A and B are shown apart, each in its own frame.
Chain A
Amino acid sequence: MSATIKPVNFRIPVWAQRFATTVALLLAWEAASKAGLIPARILAAPSAVAGTFWDMLASGELESNLLVSLGRVLTGLSIAIVTGSSLALIAGLSRTGEMAVDAPMQMLRTMPFLALVPLFILWFGIGETPKIALIALGGTFPIYLNLFSGIRAVDKKLVEAGNCFGLNNAALIKHVILPGALPSFLVGLRYALGISWLSLVVAEQVNATAGIGYLINNARDYMRTDIIVVCLLIYSVLGLTTDFIVRTLERFALAWRPSFINVT
């Protein structure tokens, strides 16, 4: 008679354990909706949301509005990258530039930029301009702050070595300073992306005639909670996707880092 207890052979895989709670919640939600505990005008059932998602895809409504929203983010983010990087280069590469640029930027960044919406409406009207301006403004600060500190944190000894080996200023910037600041820039880019989606949500509440936010506003008027949930999910998927893209970018651009060398 052995006293040892044999371990149970059947084991739940880790991924299944991780999703167990989520699945349970979804099932409870579905059951509550079916039982009439959660009325559809408060929150649509998961099955209804899935159905609506499929319908919106099939009709092309989702794709066309998604493209509009993506376009706004890409335009705003591009402006943010160009502005933030230019300002960071000016401030990072010269003391005079730092004097001129850094103080006002540090002051402006403390302002919650979403509070500028009313002012932007007065300045730019209610068309596309204020929406893109808001996204651009929100993204500029993280790009600027991270790239600026990245440039200043580049190892002085490497700059000195570059000087020794005959690099002129342009070559120093290209071969030493910018590659050295790239990790910080990419951190800034990830922050900027997160803020861009947030700005998009706010911007699209203002008289949008297309876009995910427009779909949400419309759905609100018709009490279509299923459409609202679909759109919320789209927002989060967009955030996850772009984060994944930047992380992939990091893996290639920062392949020289010890943390990536073992992975690839």
Chain B
Amino acid sequence: MQNQTLFAFKALDPANPSGSPAPKPVVQLRAFTRRFSNNTVLDSIDLEIGEGEFVALLGRSGSGKTTILRTLAGLDTVSEGEVKLPSARAVVFQEPRLLPWKRVWNNVLLGLEPKALGGAKAARTLAQKALSEVGLDHRADAWPSTLSGGEAQRAALARALVREPKLLLLDEPFASLDALTRIKMHALVASLWQAHKPAVLMVTHDVDEAIALADRVLILAEGKLIVERRVDLPRKRQPGQPGFAALRRYFLEQLGVEAEDETQQHAVAKEIILGS
């Protein structure tokens, strides 16, 4: 019954309008295993992310999700298994990680050579454009320490997107923001993703966030991918829409969360939606 409702909306899914199998993969992990001394953090992971696909990775803390993200970011060494990554990658971390001694627009251009962008003026224009996309062009000349949490995270998004990545990695990017700002950020990320169409891997522990944004949700537990599920709800998803609650219940169950917690979470989510 529930599944029927989910599939009914499939044709409207902009990420996969034809309903065809996943597009050509940008990321490929084959039997990828990561050990720290005797501790196996990731155990024989197989993962593909298609071009322009938005994948959310759920897991409790300590499940190894950060290790996957670090591997995809190229920050970790690969010793066991096969990892194929695009060279154009960008990361938005949980903390904005802006360099405090560079003004916001200079942070956006970090690591980009002005010469390669067509000179200092063109570089500045590019930064300005990226910042206006995230609604932050008026703060281009500000020092990062004067930004609010949400603004800083938007600057980090601009810094990631300005290099037109094939793969965008989001490491719990909204975890430290307040609930209202987080909802605004979800809408922003959704629209930026539609505009630029990078493949996205978002690590999160927020089930609603995963359902709201992802084409496909994975759950990682004790180093293994235990769940893989497409989310075929129409976009501009909201916790109140049909199918959302069922998915949330399913994912929470897989994460081992009691029903009591779930209703509580539902109530919180509802309150937030009504409040905004």
Answer whether A and B are interacting partners. Answer: yes
Binary interface profile of B, 75-98, with partner A (CB < 8 Å = 1, else 0)?
Answer: 100000000000001110101010
Q: How far apart sit A157 and B90, CA to CA, in the bound complex (Å)? A: 15
> Quick check: B99 and A175 within 8 Å, CB to CB?
yes
- Interface 9-mer from A37-45, A84-92, A117-125, A255-263: A255-263
> Quick check: B75 and A163 within 8 Å, CB to CB?
yes
Interchain Cβ contacts within 8 Å, total number: 56
> Quick check: A179 and B111 within 8 Å, CB to CB?
no
> Quick check: A164 and B73 within 8 Å, CB to CB?
yes
Chain B residues with CB below 8 A from A255, complex form = 143
Please, how many residues of chain B have a CB less than 8 angstroms from a CB on the other chain?
Answer: 22
Chain B residues with CB below 8 A from A164, complex form = 73-75, 89-91
Q: Which of A161, A256, A257, A258 contacts B93 (CB 8 A)?
A: A161
> Quick check: A166 and B75 within 8 Å, CB to CB?
no
Q: Which of B75, B110, B144 contacts A175 (CB 8 A)?
A: B110
Q: How far apart sit A157 and B73, CA to CA, in the bound complex (Å)? A: 14
Q: Which of B73, B99, B145 contacts A257 (CB 8 A)?
A: B145
Binary interface profile of A, 222-264, with partner B (CB < 8 Å = 1, else 0)?
Answer: 0000000000000000000000000000000011111001000
Binary interface profile of A, 127-159, with partner B (CB < 8 Å = 1, else 0)?
Answer: 000000000000000000000000000000110
> Quick check: A157 and B93 within 8 Å, CB to CB?
yes
Chain A residues with CB below 8 A from B146, complex form = 258, 261
Q: How far apart sit A220 and B22, CA to CA, in the bound complex (Å)? A: 92
> Quick check: B101 and A256 within 8 Å, CB to CB?
yes
How many residues of A sit at the interface, in one of the four size bands?
20 to 34
Chain A residues with CB below 8 A from B144, complex form = 256
Q: How far apart sit A257 and B144, CA to CA, in the bound complex (Å)? A: 9
> Quick check: A256 and B111 within 8 Å, CB to CB?
no
Give the distance to chain B from A204, nearest Cβ to Cβ, in Å.
39
Binary interface profile of A, 162-177, with partner B (CB < 8 Å = 1, else 0)?
Answer: 1111110001000110
> Quick check: B145 and A162 within 8 Å, CB to CB?
no
* Chain B minimum-CB-distance residue to A157: B97
A166-B97 CB under 8 A given contacts A160-B75, A256-B143, A261-B143: no
Question: For window 220-275 of chain B, which residues contact chain A by CB distance below 8 Å?
Answer: none
Chain A residues with CB below 8 A from B101, complex form = 179-180, 182, 254, 256
Give the distance to chain A from B197, nearest Cβ to Cβ, in Å.
21
- B159 is an interface residue with CB less than 8 A from chain A: yes
Q: How far apart sit A171 and B113, CA to CA, in the bound complex (Å)? A: 11
Chain B contact residues, majority secondary structure:
loop
> Quick check: B90 and A165 within 8 Å, CB to CB?
yes
Q: How far apart sit A194 and B243, CA to CA, in the bound complex (Å)? A: 71
* Chain B minimum-CB-distance residue to A160: B75
Q: Which of A163, A176, A258 contacts B145 (CB 8 A)?
A: A258
* Chain A minimum-CB-distance residue to B70: A160
Chain B residues with CB below 8 A from A165, complex form = 90, 110-111, 159, 163
Give the distance to chain A from B103, nearest Cβ to Cβ, in Å.
8
> Quick check: A158 and B97 within 8 Å, CB to CB?
yes
Chain B residues with CB below 8 A from A167, complex form = 110-111
Chain B residues with CB below 8 A from A158, complex form = 97, 99
A161-B97 CB under 8 A given contacts A167-B111, A171-B111, A175-B110: yes
> Quick check: B111 and A162 within 8 Å, CB to CB?
yes
Q: How far apart sit A255 and B110, CA to CA, in the bound complex (Å)? A: 19
> Quick check: B145 and A161 within 8 Å, CB to CB?
no
- B114 is an interface residue with CB less than 8 A from chain A: no
Chain A residues with CB below 8 A from B89, complex form = 164
Give the distance to chain B from A100, nearest Cβ to Cβ, in Å.
27
A-B contact pairs, 30 of them (CB 8 A): A157-B95, A158-B97, A158-B99, A160-B97, A161-B99, A162-B110, A164-B73, A164-B74, A164-B90, A164-B91, A165-B110, A165-B111, A166-B111, A167-B110, A175-B102, A175-B110, A176-B99, A179-B99, A179-B101, A179-B102, A256-B100, A256-B101, A256-B102, A256-B103, A256-B144, A256-B145, A257-B100, A257-B145, A261-B145, A261-B146
Q: Which of B's residues lie within 8 Å of A, judged by CB?
A: 73-75, 89-91, 93, 95, 97, 99-103, 110-111, 143-146, 159, 163
Known contacts A165-B159, A180-B101; 4 additional CB pairs below 8 A are A157-B97, A164-B91, A255-B143, A261-B145
- The 6 tightest CB contacts between A and B, nearest first, are A165-B111, A161-B97, A179-B101, A166-B111, A256-B101, A256-B143
